[in-house]
Structure 1
């Protein structure tokens, strides 16, 4: 694995650690943490997308293209992770007890 790939996974791991920490609060439901996580990445990506433009009109003209890109990437990542969890279900679930 390259240093760039490792850095990618290290950043993701840090975010997952934060979500897991929030999951330890018995007053917060796991689904609420997941929803907050999704909102945060959507908000961040909207901001990040805006940095490519000088005007609101430019962003409006590329909005659908950006939406399609982010949705497709998320779908690919979700599918890959779902397949990984299915393939290693017993192992992953046994380590969470």
Structure 2
């Protein structure tokens, strides 16, 4: 954990993951829950971006920058998490003790 990423960051992320896990328990469809969570993250990102502009035209001028920023952030986080799951596969997926 870097200094820029405090425990509250992980607590908020865990709250979203907990909700997704509850929905998986209810729906039993991981793909649909994953799609909804991805949509929600993208919708929220669009909303917080829009708050920084005075008009749709102004936002449209920054569209590529907005999409690149969030795409790069998602890719970086996804790569970090995939690498962690590769490294911890036996523990995370198979439930083996380290």
TM-score, normalized by the shorter chain, greater than 0.5: yes
Please give the alpha-carbon distance, in whole angstroms, between the structure 2 residues aligned to 1:63 and 1:49.
10
Q: CA deviation at 1:94?
A: 2.8
Stretches of structure 2 that go unaligned for 5 or more consecutive residues are none
Please give the root-mean-square deviation of Cα atoms over the aligned residues, in Å. Answer: 1.5
User: 2:6 corresponds to which residue?
Assistant: 5
Once the two structures are superposed, the pairs formed by residues 1-97 of structure 1 within 5 Å of their partners are 5-25=6-26, 27-95=27-95
- Counting matched residue pairs gives 94
In the superposition, the TM-score normalised over structure 1's length comes to 0.91
- Which runs of structure 1 show a deviation greater than 6 angstroms over 4 or more consecutive aligned residues? none
In the superposition, the TM-score normalised over structure 2's length comes to 0.90
Q: Give the direction of change, closer, same or farther, for the CA distance of 1:3–1:55 in structure 2 (3 Å limit).
A: closer
Per-residue displacement from partner, 1:47-70 (whole Å, max 9, x unpaired)?
000000011111000010000000
